[in-house]
Structure 1
Amino acid sequence: MGKIQLMSTSLANQIAAGEVVVRPASCVKELVENSLDAGAKRISVTLTEGGIAGILVQDDGVGMDEADAQLAFARHASSKVYEERDLTRIRTLGFRGEALASIAAVARVTLTTRQAGADAALEIKVAGGEMAPIRHVGAAVGTSIEVRDLFYNTPARLKYLRSVQTEQAKSVEIVQRAALSRPDVAFSCQTEHHVLFQTPGNGDMRTVLASLYGVGEAKQLLAVTGETNDYVVKGYIGRPTQGRASRSHAHLFVNGRPVRNIAVHQAVIRGYKNRLMVGKQPMYAIYIEMDPSLIDVNVHPHKEEVRFSEEGDVTRFVAEAIAAALDETLLAPTPVSPRVQARSEVQPLAIDWSQAKTVDKGGQRTQESVTARPAVQRTTPFKPQSGVELQDKAKYASGTAREADVAYAPTQNESRQDIAAAEQAVTAEQTPSASAPDAPQARKANWQLRPIGQALGMYVLADDGETLYIIDQHAAHERILFEQFYTRLTTRTVYAMPLLAPITLTLTPSVFERTMSQQAALSELGLTFEHFGGYDVVVRTVPDIWEGLDMDKLVHETFEQLPAQMQSADFHQLMHDVIATRACKAAVKANWHLSEEELAALCHALTALDDPFHCPHGRPIFLQFTDKHLEKEFRRIV
């Protein structure tokens, strides 16, 4: 007798169930999807002991007749896919025809269903894949499915379930995602003791988000919309300050199906640009509508992932929609009133920390010096560009710079320049020309800050006549330097800086091939190198904005991260973190004393930035307090 034998139907069903039913949440997902496909407008989920002991899903959908109710428990039986070409245009959630058969193979299932116009409902009980005779009972129109004693006949899988609280949380998350995908359906999820989650089903997405995160969080969310001939993107995203430590608040829906896709998630992050703090994940609920033939929803056993036929187009469109929503809505400064402009002409005020103050001690007025946090004295002045001052850009562009010019870094003995004039030069470089006006820049052009002084050695106080600002001096200067460097990168004014000692690197074969194929593109951005035999390359020049950093490490990391097909935009993305690090190291630090002129220059440069709200690492640059807010706090108004 041969060793190969056919499995019994019961054993085959239990093995197949391992791909579909992993935990109680898997059952909840499959049953809720079936209810949505049945046209339900109200869906109720009841969990007993986190779903381990029992799951009851009730809906008011179309119901089933006797023939369909029996076939629903057969393997590979489906009402949604009839021929092969249907797999390329799937619009329903459940389509494999395995859900009920798999669940019934490892649990005790009771199905009660009734169609409109039927005299009575049908009740079918299945345990371990064995079906009992059909009974007629009384029930409302729709379908209810009760799953009890999950994994009762597979104890090896039962013991790997987590605690009741963990399994319950997983199941509730499934219901919440379903509610987000269909705000027009009323959902409720409860235990035998109390309601865990519910939505009204009024079609308002923000209402569902308020049920998940609270009214306060939902009010802050920003709407996202975008449409092309192939794609429609809509939804809500959180402000940068609403960033989370994990991706649990990131929801993606494609044609109404809750899915995961790491490429789209990365596109959302790119859309935030550098507004998110390092280590934070965005909060969002994004909906993508597209032709079903452009996606494959059958690539994951649990149907939780999808594959796009044109992934690059989808991710680019999502990133642009996210960026547009943030650029248009994110805390744009209000143009100042005429009285504020008049005040801005006054010389900036400054606090002389060494000046004595008068205090009253025991009825006698005495002089006492001010005690302040010690200030760190710098050897270089605060200015827009730190490090090597490139005296002759043409020399670097032509590659004829002398080694002495490259090695010289005037950081110790250079004379103090007019800081205000230097900052005005930066502003002129970043401000769009009159022939190409930019609406957000035009709004910011009238925003003027009047510096008041420093506080606690690290904050700058300023106002614009209507609002008081507390500015983080390091974050503000870091942002100023970042935009200066990044502007040079995007406008192709980065110059090749020859190295005193060329860098020789040994690359892996794959990295070497990618690097050599992108040699011309990298050379345009100041990174020039040549083949040095085998898989070695020798680097002759680097972008001048890398000055002062670890060149060997930066060159190696850049080569390692090169994509197979690179354009300038890809290299700009690779350079982002490098420029942010460069700006952070060059910016003023805490406890650095700034003069009156430097305070004025910092405030002036801040108002001219494209994004004056966040440093390159996503931290906020300032806090603001309006006059109304202060009057309320001081009880001047009720």
Structure 2
Amino acid sequence: MSAALANQIAAGEVVVRPASCVKELIENSLDARARAIQVHLREGGIAEIVVIDDGQGMDEQDAALAFRRHATSKVYEPRDLVRIRTLGFRGEALASIAAVARVRLTTRAVGAETAVRVAVDGGEMGPLETVGAPVGTRIEVRDLFYNTPARLKYLRTVQTEQARSVEVVQQAALSRPDVAFSCQTEHHVLFQTPGNGDVRTVLAALYGVGEAKQLLELSAASNDYRVHGLIGRPTQARSSRGYAHLFVNGRPIRHPGIHQAVIQGYQNRLMVGKHPMYALYVEMDPSLVDVNVHPHKAEVRFSEEQDVARLVSQAVAAALDGTLLAATPVRTRQPHATTVQPLALDWRGARDGQVTPANTSPMPAPADKAVREGLTEMYRTGEPARSSGRPEPTKAQFADESATPAHHVSSGDVEPTDRDGWPADWSLRPIGQALGMYILADDGESLYIIDQHAAHERVLYEDFSRKLRERGVFAMPLLAPLELTLSPVAFARAMAVQQELADMGLTYEPFGAQQIVIRAVPDIWQGLDVERLAVDVFDDLQALKGDSVIEQMRLCVATRACKAAVKANWTLSPPEMEALCRSLVKCQDPFHCPHGRPIFVRMTNGELERAFRRIV
């Protein structure tokens, strides 16, 4: 086997995509004690990656050795492998990158009068040249995978690869706030950090000054471990885990156990389905953590994981307990009498589709009013209402019931998964409402207990999805444009799908390096907290992976529209219940909400007779 082929095979473990190259090169720069690092990306890093640092640099001999397999100046003896203090100690990284790309290295060591330059093309090293350059190292990686087309074929879109590369730079900047980072594409600078050692300034560069100012400091220590950093208030929680950052001895990692410990520290302050924003730093003796359990060192194994998790959870709880926090909406259920409202009530005054609310209904809030008007329109026309007008976005708070995971129902009560075998003229006759949450209805053969929130979610979801397919979604202009600061990853993706989201009714334009200004939102969001919904959509956008980003975004926007559904403890009038039941039976899938939860529990006449011992 030739040396070039061996390097190409080795590259498969180290170099998976442009982000892998960016990670290895940044780690080498940090290990070279760089105080400033610049990263330039072209076509998401596929066409070109340039990393420039002001580190110690290399002399002519080291520059030549750097591209040899298993050559490293960071590991000298076996015991160094269990007390790793460097990041990019793998010797084969540069050799593997050079085996599948065109690489040019320019470096000047501290104290040297000149720099040295060497080019490596597909693993073949050219002659060393003496050139002029500042102290530090500049590595240019061009045409990644040009000589391995099978790997090039399986790269994602330019936008996806760029987002992953930017995320690597973002993690590195957070891991070392004392180093100034700059990340830019061929179009503009995505973000810059000052390198002043303050984590808050890095987070301000990534997520905006407003978000960074609200973060809370925490610090705790035990005999073996120390944890410190910043955590977000409950009101800053996001629908994506992309805003959670964990570092162990300066190395960015993923660790579900520690993430769960952070959530436990919040106790019941977080809404269901939301994840906290944080940048946490755990420090310990290197011998107490194994960083070699993952090929890319993205995961670690602690010698005493429970001790670390306990310390983290206690530190988070102490930081939150010691601060006066703003009230956050929490899912609670008020005691509700077990009563059924007969249809005979509330019909007086309901002429021409004008619904008279039940006597026990509270005065609807702005968001409630918009939903009730939609139900009224459904009752009058048989179709979900289409919003109109130019309302200002409200700040109504509501429980995020749509995030509740699917629960198990006994096999005898589970509804079918499709409409096969169900009559085409199936209809439901509402009988009343129970517990402020469920509609009781029958179809002449069975009794149905319908979750009113899940049912309305399904109706809105299918209506909005149909409009998306037919391009019948209307954009609702905002009286006051909404400004949002996005993370570099979310901003890059938002710009890549700007037109597609506009087709879904969400129109925006860039307004600064990482800011967008939203001009219009989908009309189905009328009366809701459009700022919160928009933030959730862009959080979802940041977390999406794969090639079907557009289809996933259609699902996200449609699902977010379901927040307009009626909630638990909303007393519905008979016409509202009738409208909801009439729309539900027309759905393509009237059995499950968009999140997979069952919409109703069905009891046949035979099951009821057996339950009451009318038959044996």
TM-score normalised over the length of structure 1:
0.53
Aligned to 2:74, the other structure's residue is in SS state: coil
Aligned to 1:69, the other structure's residue is in SS state: helix
In 1, distance between residues paired with 2:205 and 2:52?
Answer: 21
Aligned to 1:234, the other structure's residue is in SS state: strand
Tell me which of 30, 38, 49 is aligned to 1:36: 30
Q: Is 1:116–2:24 an aligned residue pair? A: no
Give the aligned residue type for 1:183. P
In 2, distance between residues paired with 1:299 and 1:284?
Answer: 24
Alignment of 1:99-138 (within 5 A): 99-138=93-132
Counterpart for residue 300 of structure 2: 306
In 1, distance between residues paired with 2:51 and 2:86?
Answer: 19
Q: Is 1:272–2:254 an aligned residue pair? A: no
Counterpart for residue 249 of structure 1: 243
**Structure of higher CA gyration radius:** 1
Tell me which of 368, 374, 389 is aligned to 2:358: 374
Give the aligned residue type for 2:258. V
Aligned-residue CA RMSD in angstroms?
2.7
Give the aligned residue type for 1:38. A
Counterpart for residue 255 of structure 2: 261
In 2, distance between residues paired with 1:200 and 1:332?
Answer: 31
In 1, distance between residues paired with 2:366 and 2:129?
Answer: 77
Counterpart for residue 94 of structure 1: 88
Which runs of 5 or more structure 2 residues have no equivalent in the other structure? 328-354, 368-394, 401-566, 573-616
Counterpart for residue 72 of structure 2: 78
In 1, distance between residues paired with 2:51 and 2:118?
Answer: 15
Counterpart for residue 65 of structure 1: 59
Alignment of 1:286-435 (within 5 A): 286-331=280-325, 373-376=357-360
Q: Is 1:10–2:4 an aligned residue pair? A: yes
Give the aligned residue type for 2:569. K
Counterpart for residue 279 of structure 2: 285
Q: Is 1:157–2:151 an aligned residue pair? A: yes
Give the aligned residue type for 1:75. R
- 1:155–1:374 CA distance, 2 compared to 1 (3 A): same
In 2, distance between residues paired with 1:35 and 1:292?
Answer: 21
Deviation (angstroms), 1:588: 9.6
- 1:472–1:171 CA distance, 2 compared to 1 (3 A): closer
Please list the CA deviations of residues 517-560 of structure 1 after superposition, one character each: whole Å capped at 9, or x if unmatched.
xxxxxxxxxxxxxxxxxxxxxxxxxxxxxxxxxxxxxxxxxxxx
Please list the CA deviations of residues 171-220 of structure 1 after superposition, one character each: whole Å capped at 9, or x if unmatched.
11111111101111111011233211111111111110011111111111
Deviation (angstroms), 1:273: 1.3
Q: Matched residues, percent identical?
A: 72
Counterpart for residue 589 of structure 1: 569
- 1:244–1:473 CA distance, 2 compared to 1 (3 A): closer
Structure 1 stretch 185-194 or stretch 97-106: which is displaced more? 185-194
Aligned to 2:322, the other structure's residue is in SS state: helix
Please list the CA deviations of residues 397-430 of structure 1 after superposition, one character each: whole Å capped at 9, or x if unmatched.
xxxxxxxxxxxxxxxxxxxxxxxxxxxxxxxxxx
Deviation (angstroms), 1:117: 2.1
Aligned to 2:201, the other structure's residue is in SS state: helix
In 1, distance between residues paired with 2:235 and 2:275?
Answer: 10
- 1:79–1:274 CA distance, 2 compared to 1 (3 A): same
In 2, distance between residues paired with 1:79 and 1:141?
Answer: 19
Please list the CA deviations of residues 273-327 of structure 1 after superposition, one character each: whole Å capped at 9, or x if unmatched.
1211111111111100111000001111111111101011111111111111111
Counterpart for residue 180 of structure 2: 186
In 1, distance between residues paired with 2:202 and 2:275?
Answer: 21
In 2, distance between residues paired with 1:282 and 1:474?
Answer: 17
Please list the CA deviations of residues 328-349 of structure 1 after superposition, one character each: whole Å capped at 9, or x if unmatched.
114289xxxxxxxxxxxxxxxx
Please list the CA deviations of residues 432-471 of structure 1 after superposition, one character each: whole Å capped at 9, or x if unmatched.
xxxxxxxxxxxxxxxxxxxxxx743899xxxxxxxxxx99
Higher RCO structure (Cα 8 Å, ≥6 apart): 2
Please list the CA deviations of residues 479-517 of structure 1 after superposition, one character each: whole Å capped at 9, or x if unmatched.
xxxxxxxxxxxxxxxxxxxxxxxxxxxxxxxxxxxxxxx
- 1:269–1:142 CA distance, 2 compared to 1 (3 A): same
Q: Is 1:456–2:367 an aligned residue pair? A: no
Q: Does structure 2 retain, via aligned residues, the 8 Å contact 1:32–1:57? A: yes
Counterpart for residue 230 of structure 1: 224
- 1:81–1:173 CA distance, 2 compared to 1 (3 A): same
Alignment of 1:472-551 (within 5 A): none
In 2, distance between residues paired with 1:139 and 1:208?
Answer: 29
Counterpart for residue 417 of structure 1: none
Q: Does structure 2 retain, via aligned residues, the 8 Å contact 1:473–1:588? A: no
Give the aligned residue type for 2:187. H
In 1, distance between residues paired with 2:571 and 2:184?
Answer: 55
In 2, distance between residues paired with 1:588 and 1:56?
Answer: 54
Q: Is 1:204–2:198 an aligned residue pair? A: yes
- 1:374–1:474 CA distance, 2 compared to 1 (3 A): farther
- 1:193–1:275 CA distance, 2 compared to 1 (3 A): same
Please list the CA deviations of residues 4-23 of structure 1 after superposition, one character each: whole Å capped at 9, or x if unmatched.
xxx32222211111111111
Q: Does structure 1 retain, via aligned residues, the 8 Å contact 2:82–2:290? A: yes
Give the aligned residue type for 1:228. S
Deviation (angstroms), 1:98: 1.6
Counterpart for residue 507 of structure 1: none
Aligned to 2:183, the other structure's residue is in SS state: strand
Aligned to 1:252, the other structure's residue is in SS state: strand
- 1:471–1:133 CA distance, 2 compared to 1 (3 A): closer
Aligned to 1:225, the other structure's residue is in SS state: strand
- 1:272–1:67 CA distance, 2 compared to 1 (3 A): same
Q: Does structure 1 retain, via aligned residues, the 8 Å contact 2:29–2:37? A: yes
Deviation (angstroms), 1:140: 0.4
Give the aligned residue type for 2:56. V
Counterpart for residue 453 of structure 2: none
Q: Does structure 2 retain, via aligned residues, the 8 Å contact 1:62–1:142? A: yes
Deviation (angstroms), 1:75: 1.1
Counterpart for residue 143 of structure 1: 137
TM-score normalised over the length of structure 2:
0.55
In 1, distance between residues paired with 2:303 and 2:2?
Answer: 39
Please list the CA deviations of residues 589-636 of structure 1 after superposition, one character each: whole Å capped at 9, or x if unmatched.
3459xxxxxxxxxxxxxxxxxxxxxxxxxxxxxxxxxxxxxxxxxxxx
Which runs of 5 or more structure 1 residues have no equivalent in the other structure? 1-6, 334-370, 378-453, 460-469, 476-586, 593-638
In 2, distance between residues paired with 1:473 and 1:92?
Answer: 47
Q: Does structure 1 retain, via aligned residues, the 8 Å contact 2:179–2:196? A: yes
Tell me the matched-pair count.
354
